[in-house]
Structure 1
Amino acid sequence: MGGDDTPDMALRHDGARAYRVHLVVAAVVVPAYVALPNGPARAVLNSLLGLAFAALIAVGVRRNRPRAAGAWWLLAAGVLAWVLGDITYNVLDHVLHVSPFPSVADVFYLAAYPLLAAGLLLLARRRTAGGDRDGVVDSAIVTVGAGLLSWVFLMQPSLADSTVPVFNRVVATSYPVGDVLLLAVVARLLTTAGRRSPSFRWLAVGIVLMLASDSAYQVVSLSGTYHGGLLNLGWSWSYAALAAAALHPSMRGLADAAPSAATFTRVRLVALTCASLLSPGTLLLQSALGWEVEPWSVGASSIALFLLVVLRMNGLLKQVQTQAQQLTALARTDGLTGIANRRSGDAELGRLVDRCALDGVPLAVAILDLDHFKRFNDSFGHPAGDELLVQAARAWTERLEDSPAFLARWGGEEFLVATTGLGAGAAADLVRALLGATPLGQTFSAGVAQWDGAESVTALVGRADAALYAAKAAGRNRVEVAAGGTSGVVPVQR
């Protein structure tokens, strides 16, 4: 035991220690570097920190050996691409003193988006191995709502600025497009089921910080030039959070598929409500600010959101219907044996009495009781007793499959058999045949009563129960017919 588990436990211990050290160092170094004045020194430290965080993601992958290693390597490549963009930008700005936009730096920056998105999408797909249409719809609702905001407040103003060359406008617009892509996949990841481990939470924090910082930068860039500041803190902490996600030992199971779909929580309801209101909210905000209203974009997003909400409601309705059917089945089925329970047996007896009265056919009821069941439990244990009940119900169900009989668990080790079209004697013969199918060498005693055409269900079952006790008193392992039947005790030879 120890020889197999000790290396893994040591690995986890070292990984947890590296994770804690990383958080402490990042909490001190990142704010200290951001506090430096803008210039080459801060640019160099920014690049070194970014490279360190990308390297720590790789270290986490090598140490923790996650099941979806490819996804983490894509995340590391995405961070590295962004850092290479920073390095290229700073070289052009501080060393070569040429305009860094647009430039080769944008190639690295824009390459980070599909790399990060691909890594997150792989993790989301692994966590939803069985499919999750509702999660896809939820993430689409969030994406459409946020995409409208991005178009109205970021993309459209960039494209409409005729003082800027067309190529520059296209490159500038590519960044909010990349953010919408990244938002779509992170929303998909957040809507998956499964355990919200520390690694999962750090991953979500890192991407959200990255999106927030990137969007804030684009807003600042519309009205001026960013010269460094708090946004660098957001970007650096986003890299640090991704590194923390990779270093924490729980990242090994982050891609494990959940056994069931995610539940519809209050938090998800609030998020979807807010996302659905972004379209009319944008229209109201444009009108309040006196801006030119975007009828086509707002209208198209409103239609898309409406259709997605209807699709989501349809999914919830189907889920409610499925759960209602399951609850109905559970209410009518015995949880141990899988056959009808006492409630179903009572209801079925009532229907059979009405039908037999209408059709003029005989109805017989038998109560079966496994002999010495308590002794069996005491000798072999309660799990063995449960297994006996399960096997007996299965064997009797198969034997009664081609007969006009209904089987239910009446309670404890008692079962009920109701037959239509058979008199008491034939019903007793049918029940006697079940003795040969009883598993594990066990026997049962049974009492049979035929409905007299006028008595209540309670009275009918009471006569069968009295016949059962007569069978027990006569030595068990036999079937007895209640008074008024066609025969008396029917002994059984085993």
Structure 2
Amino acid sequence: MSLPRADALFRLHLVVGVALSIGCALMPAGLGHDALYTVISFGCVAMLAVGIRRHRPTAARGWWLVTAGVGVWACADLVWAVYTWILHISPFPSPADALYLTSYVIIAAGFWSFVRSRSGEGDREGFTDAAIFTVGSVLLSWVVLMRPGLEAAGDSTVARVLAAAYPMGDVLMLALLVRLLTTTGARSTAFRWLVAGNTLLLAADCAYQYTTTTGTYSGGIITLPWLLAYVSFAAAALHPSMRHLTDGGDEGQDAHFTRGRLIALTVASLVAPGTLLLQLALGLHLDAWAVALSSVVLFLLVVWRMSGLLQRLDAQASALADLARTDALTGLPNRRTTDAELERMQTRARGEGLPLCVAVLDLDRFKAFNDTFGHQAGDRLLVAAAAAWRETVQTARAGVGAGRAVMLGRWGGEEFVLLLLGHDLSAAVTLADAMRLSTPAGQTFSAGVACWDGLESAAEVFSRADAALYAAKSSGRNQIHPADPIAAPDSSAAPILVAEDRSAPGPAGP
């Protein structure tokens, strides 16, 4: 099968770009080297633009910003080459410095656009993780690049500003790279090449700054990561997956705290004490203030991160508790919750001397309804009936006095339970009948109501209400049937067990 045109261009770009980059890095420093370098860099900028125009991403702003930033970086390289090999001068600072520093900001802005599109504004965990990595990186940059650069710059204000500005530009790029890595959304091919471009750019830049601080830069292999960074950025834009790079992931995906992220955060948090221990062990200059300040900031960020995790765990625990207590279809309390609430109401009724009634409701001919209209229609009926009955119960609850309580729950299938604390049998029957009249879709239900005698168990009072329900069914349905008072046990009579098929249709209702 032939490759799509976009994939063919993507692969051709990688083959040619990598080959030219390796060849350029192996060339001796000189005009020919920098000419090929310029061809590669501006060619990759052109490929970035081609990829954006070809694939038309859903959010093109970030891609155009990255293209502009890489283009400004390429212009800075060209300016430096012109000064070095054509004009044979090395002004300091030069326009190339201004272009390099500007490119940091533009590329970082492009990455920030990607971050906002993929995660929005509410990703507290991702922001905190990126901040932890950034603080650790600032400390390392200070120890390895900034402070040595400031010392080497001497008393020149411009040189000292540039010695600090370049490492800070790298820190800004790294911060946005880490923030992008903590976003939700798919890690597509375009995403990985974009990350690779930023990483290679940072690696080459830091290697260059370290080389100029400790010795003399002479080109060579250090130029290869820069060239491959150009190739990687262009490869990201040329791949078809770039059009969906800014699509966010599933809600809550960013909350998945992997072991890898935990290890990375642990390492970042240990940068400050590790730096101090290493300096002490090697007898190096101690950056006490930098280590102390970064340690404080890292500690506060870790505490903030842990508080976010605890809040999320609390929210998840609360959601799980709600799921365990609630019927998923109707949103009413489920059977487990209803059982527990009945026992609590019994305790209150006994202690406060209040009446307690239990009503068991069952939709009439629900099996026939399902068989006729389908189970989805049956589910819709259950949801609508639960909503209508809940509204009736809430109206009744608003009118009851202090110490009274009403709760409607789903027992299972088409069967529901109504618990009424502080209601006598007559009031309970009245409320159940009001609910019966509010049943939607022209449907009806039958119910049995039992008043607790103060001694029987929860199972026993429910059993009497259930028996009254079947008496209502046998009497024609669509009615409320009060349960008979509990009878004294008769030891001379043997119990009679009657098995009934609840699914079998009874006599026609009125």
What's the TM-score bracket when you normalise by the shorter of the two chains? over 0.9
1:160-171 mapped onto 2 (5 Å cutoff): 160-161=151-152, 165-171=156-162
Counterpart contact for 2:361–2:447, Cα < 8 Å:
yes
How far has the Cα of 1:318 moved from its partner?
A: 1.0
1:402 partner amino acid: T
Q: 1:280 aligns with which of 273, 297, 300?
A: 273
How far apart are 1:163 and its partner, in Å? 5.1
Matched-pair contact (CA < 8 Å) for 2:360–2:415? yes
Tell me the CA shift for residue 453 of structure 1: 0.9
Which string of whole-angstrom CA distances, capped at 9 and with x for unpartnered residues, describes residues 323-368 of structure 1?
Answer: 1111111111111111111111011101111111111121111111
Structure 1 residue 79, shift from structure 2 partner: 0.6
Displacement of 1:409: 0.6
Query: Residue type matched to 1:315 in 2?
Result: G
Pairwise mapping of residues 251-270 of structure 1 onto structure 2 (< 5 A)?
A: 251-261=242-252, 262-263=254-255, 264-270=257-263
Residue type at the aligned position of 1:98: I
1:20 and 1:440 map into 2 onto residues whose CA distance is 62
Task: Give the gaps of 5 or more residues in structure 2.
Answer: 397-404, 487-506
Partner of 1:102: 93
Aligned pairs (5 A) from 1:185-204: 185-204=176-195
Return the alpha-carbon distance in structure 2 between the equivalents of residues 342 and 440 of structure 1: 25
Residue of structure 2 in register with 1:210 after alignment = 201
Unaligned stretches of 5+ in structure 1?
Answer: 1-11, 486-490
Residue aligning to 2:352: 359
CA distance in structure 1 between the aligned counterparts of 2:241 and 2:336, rounded to whole angstroms: 47
User: Within 1, Cα distance between the matches of 2:348 and 2:425?
Assistant: 18
Residue matched to 2:174: 183
Query: What is the aligned partner in structure 1 of residue 428 from structure 2?
Result: 427
Describe how 1:100-179 pairs up with structure 2 within 5 A: 102-161=93-152, 165-179=156-170
For 1:240, the equivalent position in structure 2 comes to: 231
- Structure 1 stretch 318-327 or stretch 245-254: which is displaced more? 245-254
Look up the match of 1:3. none
The Cα shift of 1:73 comes to 1.0
1:92 is aligned with what amino acid? Answer: Y
How far the C-alpha of 1:211 sits from its partner, in A, is 0.9
Deviation at 1:369, TM superposition (A): 1.2
Matched, 1:325 2:318: yes
Equivalent position amino acid for 2:347 in 1 = D
- Secondary structure at the counterpart of residue 401 of structure 1: helix
Q: What displacement does 1:200 show?
A: 1.6
When residues 17 and 435 of structure 1 are mapped into structure 2, their CA distance, relative to the original with a 3 A threshold, is: farther
Amino acid at match of 1:110: L
Quote the RMSD (CA, aligned, Å): 2.1
Cα deviation for residue 457 of structure 1 reads 0.1
In the alignment, the residues of structure 2 paired with residue 397 and residue 210 of structure 1 have an alpha-carbon distance, to the nearest angstrom, of 62
**8 Å Cα contact 2:48/2:233 also seen in 1:** yes
Aligned counterpart, 2:495: none
**1:482 to 2:473 alignment:** no
Instruction: Look up the equivalent residue of 1:447 and give its one-letter code.
Output: G
Contact 1:89 1:100 in 2 (8 A): no
Segment of structure 1 superposing worse, 162-171 or 172-181: 162-171
| 1:223 equivalenced with 2:223 (yes/no) | no
Where 1:402 maps in the other structure, the secondary structure is helix
1:17 correspondence with 2:20: no
Moved more, 282-291 or 151-160: 282-291
Q: What whole-Å deviation, never above 9, does each CA across 1:77-115 have from its counterpart, x for those lacking one?
A: 111111111111111112222226532221221111000
Q: Secondary structure at the match of 2:394?
A: coil
Mapped to 1, the partners of 2:430 and 2:309 lie a distance apart of: 51
**What residue in structure 1 maps to residue 401 of structure 2?**
none
User: Which of structure 1's runs of 4+ aligned residues deviate more than 4 A?
Assistant: 491-494
Letter in 1 for 2:321: T
How far did residue 411 of structure 1 move? 0.7
TM-score w.r.t. structure 2 length? 0.90
SS in 2 for 1:161: helix
Contact 1:362/1:421 (<8 A) preserved: yes
Q: Percent identity?
A: 51
State the partner residue of 2:289.
296
Name the count of aligned residue pairs.
479
Q: Output aligned runs, 1:451-470, within 5 Å.
A: 451-470=452-471
Query: What amino acid sits opposite 2:186 in the alignment?
Result: R
CA distance in 2, matches of 1:492, 1:345: 31
Please report the TM-score for the alignment, with normalisation by the length of structure 1. 0.92
Give distance in 1, aligned partners of 2:155 and 2:323.
67
Q: Aligned partners of 2:65 and 2:15: how far apart in 1? A: 26
